[in-house]
Structure 1
């Protein structure tokens, strides 16, 4: 008996359920029958569309059994369950998850710092001083191209009256700015 249990990957202390240990035809047939009854009730209460949708879902267990897809779904489910069990109960996996989280945080922080540094360097150069000198061009960049002058900012138009609550206030404002009124 011990040899038989080792062949199937079982210990004496724990039983691992195999795909063939389950009577699939009665289970799938029962699920389909229950689904058909519920579909009929849904059709009477909510209409034909709800009944047809329920009928479609009800036929799936029996169809999966008949085409042999249940063993594939069983394999996928046991693989996911094994992965999650290994994830939950393994300290080395948790260290890996923590390192992954740290890497993501560092990457996001460096992107934020890079964006903030580029903005602050651009504003200090536009103001004409204050702060550190701009970075020297790299050797790969080739000859230094003349920098384009900063685009002049358009003066803010003072609003003489508060925005109206109607839908066309923003359109009217655009027309006034263009000189069309």
Structure 2
């Protein structure tokens, strides 16, 4: 009964604010207020308030256990230690394999398989006869030079 009263009071208050906004010719704001004002009544009539209460209690219980239960913190510590050991062991093993297999490879075999090959550098622009560098524009550079000579 209290839930119904609160939800319909919230709806009535929101509708009142929407009416005030509409009276001030703020129709977009009034529409938003009216839409939000209908939510509490809709939630009550569909029966979603008890569901929200159940979800809220379950979340609060979980959070309380997470913070105050030493078993949970022990589990978090075990997960952290296992992840750290797993990462440290695999890195150590990978480095050890790389050091042991390095002398076995021939020196002229090319780049190491775990390292990407270096991409070749892009070609440098060629120098033009006038001492200017070719910037890849071709005919546009010639047109620009002609326009500059004529003062355009």
Matched, 1:70 2:49: yes
The counterpart of 1:55, out of the listed 34, 47, 62, is 34
After superposition, the C-alpha distances for 1:46-97 in whole angstroms (9 at most, x for unaligned) are: 8322221221111111111111111111111111111111111101112222
By relative contact order (CA 8 Å, sep 6+), the higher-ranking structure is: 2
In structure 2, stretches of 5+ residues that fail to align are: 106-112, 127-133, 139-152
Please state how far the C-alpha of 1:154 moved relative to its aligned partner. 2.4
Residue 71 and residue 152 in structure 1: after superposition, are their counterparts in 2 closer, same or farther (change >3 A)?
closer
Matched, 1:86 2:59: no
What does residue 34 of structure 1 align with?
13
In structure 1, stretches of 5+ residues that fail to align are: 1-21, 125-129, 135-146, 161-171
**What CA RMSD, in Å, does the superposition of the two structures yield over aligned residues?**
4.1
Could you tell me the TM-score, scaled by structure 1's length? 0.48
Aligned residues: 118
What does residue 120 of structure 2 align with?
154
Which structure has the larger Rg over C-alpha atoms?
2
